[in-house]
Structure 1
Amino acid sequence: MDERTVITIGREFGSGGHEIGQKLAERLGIKCYDKELLELAAKESGLCQELFASQDEKPTNSFLYSLVMDTYSLGYSNSYVDMPINHKVFLAQFDAIKKLAQKESCVIVGRCADYALEDDPFAVSVWVKASLDKRVERIKKMYDLSESKATDLIQKTDKRRASYYNYYSSKKWGEAKSYDLCLDSGELGIDGSIELILKYIELKEKNLAK
């Protein structure tokens, strides 16, 4: 692996993207940032951490909600004073991702990280998908849900993530051209997906070294 490599993982809900990210980071001896990114962005921005949890990968809220929640953001940079809170939270995460990628190798799950790092030559963006049937089976087991409830949760979560990504980025969630590598974890399995990502990184670095 290069001196600095950052792998971003976009994922369908139930595809195992988070587990792939964690295990990939363990294999490489680097950190995996998922929810941890919220704490980091809150600390660096001075915004209340609860705001990041309430806004996490969710579509934009109403302007009225933004005004009410804006009381939590006092003390933040003056350049953000007139900005709705959801935009402040996104930009704080965006900045945290870029700073993180500049100082260490890591895996970042979700949160438009591929968009934030699209111009970073050391970043590799991965999209993880799986068939709905396999995702339903995974979510049923993880959360002890019925098939109908698991299906409903998957559809609502994917819709929310897509709305968030499509709103804040200039790309389309889940569209192949938005990512360096797209894989089907339902066919490859968790370990097979990790091997494919590692192989991609190896081949990319060989080509860059030529």
Structure 2
Amino acid sequence: MQINIAITISRELGSGGSHIGKLVANRLGYAYIDRQILQMAAKELGVDEAELSIRRERECHIRCCSGLDRFDLRHYHLSIDTSVVDFGTATQMIASLATELPEEANWPWVNELI
């Protein structure tokens, strides 16, 4: 039986949480996803990324593993503000992002670590 794993890191501005998240993802062979989902949502909705970023503070977390288990048992935790994006659209965006993920954790924002 496959175990679904999502790692989330809450952080304060300037605390280095993003850097730690990238290090953890790299060490575990997970993909690191942060602002990419926000950029994709803004593009899909035709709104400014800054508007979504403001609303992001009230975000509702969606854990989605369905369809992502194709990627070497790596799983992803994505957050989408459901006051801006309805659940169906959020699900479609996550599925779309998942199909574009490379099979290896060879992403520049994961591998460009100090």
Instruction: Name the TM-score class by shorter chain.
Output: 0.3 to 0.5
Given the two structures, how large is their TM-score scaled by the length of structure 1?
0.28
Larger C-alpha radius of gyration, 1 or 2?
1
Structure with bigger strand share is 1
